[in-house]
Amino acid sequence: MLADLFRVLGAVVVVGVLPGYAWAAVLWPAVDRAERAAYGIGLSLALVPAVALVPARVFGLGVTVPVAAGSALLVLVAGLVARRVFGAAPAGPVPLTRPPGPLGAPVLVPVTVVAALVLWEALYGVPGGPLSVALVLLAVPAGIVYALTRGAEGSPEAESPAGDGGILRPLLLSGVLGLVLARGYVGPVLHDWPFVRGVDHYSHTIMANLMASEGEIEPYLIYPPGFHTFTAAVSRLSALDPLEVFPVLGPALLLLPAIALYAVARRLWGWECGVAAALLGGLLAGGPYEYLNDSMYPNLVAAQFLLVLAVGALAALCAPSARTGLVLAGLGSAVVLYHQVTSLYLALVLALVVLCVVPCLVARERRRGAGLLVSLALLGALSAVYAWDTYGLPGGLSEGSGDTGAAVEMAIGTQEPPDLGALIGTGVSTPVSWLGALGVLLLLADRAGRGGRERLPPALAEAGLLLWLLVLAAGSRTALSGFPERFGRDLGIPLALLAAFALVAVLRSLGARRTGAVFLAALAVVATGAGLGVRGLESLREAGGPSTQLVMTEEIAEAGRWLRENNTGGNIMVSPHLNQVPSRAMLALGGYSALQSFEPWQVENPRDLPPTGPGPALDVIWVMQNPDGERTRRTLRDQDIRYVVLYKSFPGRETVEFWRLFEDRPDLYETTFENGEVLIVRPREP
């Protein structure tokens, strides 16, 4: 394990850290190394795969070792040259907007009550029920009291921006990131190794292998190539198969949301909010770990890292800079290169920004407004290039049953929104939910209370954050979004930012002058901290336990190794299950990319069919149900089927005993491999 760890992390540094770090020094006015590292990683993920795609696609090379190393080197050298020519980015204003101030005694009373109830729920209740919803709604009285009592003791007007924190800031941030790493690695190390929890990493393995060998993901799926190009480069440079890369790389991806939240909150409100946001988003938000547990890595990278940094760059444009505009364009367009659903988030957020923010900025601050419009235009142009390449625009939106337009149409309305209690109690977590709601109310009341005294650009910087939150909240509550569960998982990220704002306001209340206010502040801090601590320990305990999403056994892996050793080309056919994961697992283990198998109801109500359409899936169903016959023989011949893989059992899935139909026909199928869970047969020559 340690050998694989060093090889993978070394390749990740070469491909995903160093190239963009050089560009971050040129383009982003970072105030500390953590913020620069966040934007450096983001720019690496944006630039290196985009550069690697050119030779991989144009020359049909795939992501070879020279392509992977050359792309990383080209981006790195270009960044170093740019720094030499243009110099480092000039320092920008930090924080961009007014940091949170202390809360007065009247506000601390309802805050303490709610914090105590959150602690009680964490200790004795069941998160995810009506109580979780009620606790979030109880943030409203605190917000109303705050709005009515602004200007009294504890008013933010008296609060001055914090310094850089000295040695305390890196110590606290290092501790938070260490806890995030523990949350990611403890469970896989104790229970999974050499496998990894999650089911989608088999699909990502197949797509990474296709990018490495052919430079194309189709016809396996219509999917943006960014993450799989990056994974293919890491695989090539580490000399490990993606199946060996993901157990090492997957848990480390949990660091990305935490460090992105730190960078954005630090830029907006100061370092204390940055550390608090990293803690809340990295340890207490449910979405990042749910993505890891399901191995939905591109979702995590796009929605909870690249998009977060893009929102941060959008906020930073309140201080006009061509360099910051380039960062926004590069990171925002990279979202389109990595994931479809996050591209929908981006489009909705930017549409609201254009409607609500740009007119105000152009009317009051023409220079800044023009800079924002130019950056958004560049972002749109780059996004169109990436979308054109992935989806074959414009024809891909209107032609063919397996195209993007059909896929979008199939998704809309097919997934019901999660229960509100479950979303708040588990998908986001109750502490983040109620602190996030409180943060929204404090922010709105504070900015509204200053009225005309607030300069426009800082107010608009926070407006982008609120619009992002609005998009995700609305999408999580309607089936019309097509992916309400994804919207719900990602809702915790902007909520963590706003929860950090509220948490720091509570902590700063300890500096009140009156004894009664100090006593109330101490109660609020103790109750809030205890609730966060209990929920944090619970999240670490849950992450460190066995996962129901570990769907691999040694016997299935043994069958996969046999297939890989005997893979001489052609295709395999795998028996269908309740979902397509078992077939994709065996394809990945054996080194194949077709054919995928689906159950009949999945073909009739398609949501995840490949671009080939329903025909091949129906062929698989026919062969499984009819081992003999002219259509079966023709299908096996036309699809070049070398082996038929039949599950006798599969962990966590009901298994239809198709294998008995094939075992009973030794005249038609030769048994080539069998153990307690898998039977592999070879069609005999007619």
Those residues with Cβ within 8 angstroms of residue 163's Cβ, 6 or more apart along the chain or in another chain: none
User: For residue 246, which of 204, 212, 287 has the smallest C-alpha distance?
Assistant: 204
Q: How high is the pLDDT of residue 330? A: 96
d(C-alpha 432, C-alpha 284), whole Å: 7
Cα 88 to its chain centre, rounded Å, is 30
Amino acid at 232: A
Amino acid at 591: G
> Mind listing the domains of the chain with CATH numbers?
1-91+196-244 (no CATH), 554-683 (3.40.50)
Interval 458-481: pLDDT, tens: 777 788 899 999 999 999 988 888
Q: What share of the chain is helix, strand, coil (3-state, %, to 5)?
A: 70, 5, 25
Q: How high is the pLDDT of residue 554? A: 93
> Do residues 539 and 284 lie in contact, with contact meaning Cβ atoms separated by under 8 Å?
yes
Share of the chain above pLDDT 70, in %: 92
Amino acid at 89: A
Q: How high is the pLDDT of residue 598? A: 86
Backbone angles phi, psi at 47, to 5 degrees: -90, -45
> Do residues 442 and 143 lie in contact, with contact meaning Cβ atoms separated by under 8 Å?
yes
Please return the burial class of 181, using the count of CB atoms within 10 Å of its CB with bins 0-12, 13-18 and 19+: middle
Q: How high is the pLDDT of residue 413? A: 60
Q: How high is the pLDDT of residue 157? A: 43
d(C-alpha 628, C-alpha 644), whole Å: 13
User: For residue 599, which of 608, 590, 591 has the smallest C-alpha distance?
Assistant: 608
Dihedral sign for Cα 125, 130, 136, 141, please: negative
Q: How high is the pLDDT of residue 320? A: 61
d(C-alpha 158, C-alpha 504), whole Å: 15
d(C-alpha 231, C-alpha 211), whole Å: 9
> Do residues 373 and 320 lie in contact, with contact meaning Cβ atoms separated by under 8 Å?
no
Residues of the chain with pLDDT under 70: 1, 151-163, 318-320, 392-414, 449-457, 512, 578-580, 606-607
